[in-house]
Structure 1
Amino acid sequence: MTHKNPKPDDRSDNVEKLRDMVQNTIGNIEAAEETMVFAEGKEQAAIKAKNERRKESIASMRNEIEDEAAARKNGYSGNK
């Protein structure tokens, strides 16, 4: 059995990937809010709860974007 070397840590496009993820998550929130009009009771509560979790994820992703942008500015490319 042969072992392959792990891929090097390539963070060069993390900021762009994270921004795309934020935009996709915002789109998911908007779509869920549109479908919530047709939901009732537990289903509506579940949608609201999921959107709250999505908003928390967005906040985390935005913090990570700041960290990655700072690392990039300080010369970290992630390529080894």
Structure 2
Amino acid sequence: MAKPDDRSNNPARLQNAIDHTLANMNEAEDYLDEHADEISAVDKQNIEEKNQRRQQAINGFIEEKKDEQNV
């Protein structure tokens, strides 16, 4: 028998994902601030691109959280 679809914890789960992703983004930015002159241009670009993807994910989490709270 299939489990019932319980979405009651989705807003909290999404907020946790937002918080975790923001922490990773901030950590990467701090790393760049401290070590930008020590890493290659390619590595720096990769970190910046990953942070752009993280920002897109955060935006998606926020929209999904809004949808979940309106249900």
TM-score by length of 1: 0.78
Larger Rg: 1
Render the CA deviation track for 1:33-59: whole Å, top value 9, x for unaligned. Answer: 111232331000000000000000000
Structure 2's unaligned 5+ residue stretches are none
TM-score by length of 2: 0.87
Q: What is the number of equivalent residue pairs in this alignment?
A: 67
Partner SS, residue 58 of structure 1: helix
Whole-Å separation in 1 of the counterparts to 2:46 and 2:28: 10
Which portions of structure 1, spanning 4 or more consecutive aligned residues, are displaced by more than 4 angstroms? none
Q: Which amino acid aligns with 2:19?
A: Q
Render the CA deviation track for 1:2-34: whole Å, top value 9, x for unaligned. Answer: xxx232211001001101110110000000111
Whole-Å separation in 2 of the counterparts to 1:9 and 1:31: 35
Structure 1's unaligned 5+ residue stretches are 72-80
Give the structure 1 partner of residue 20 of structure 2. Answer: 24
As a proportion of its length, which structure holds more helix?
2
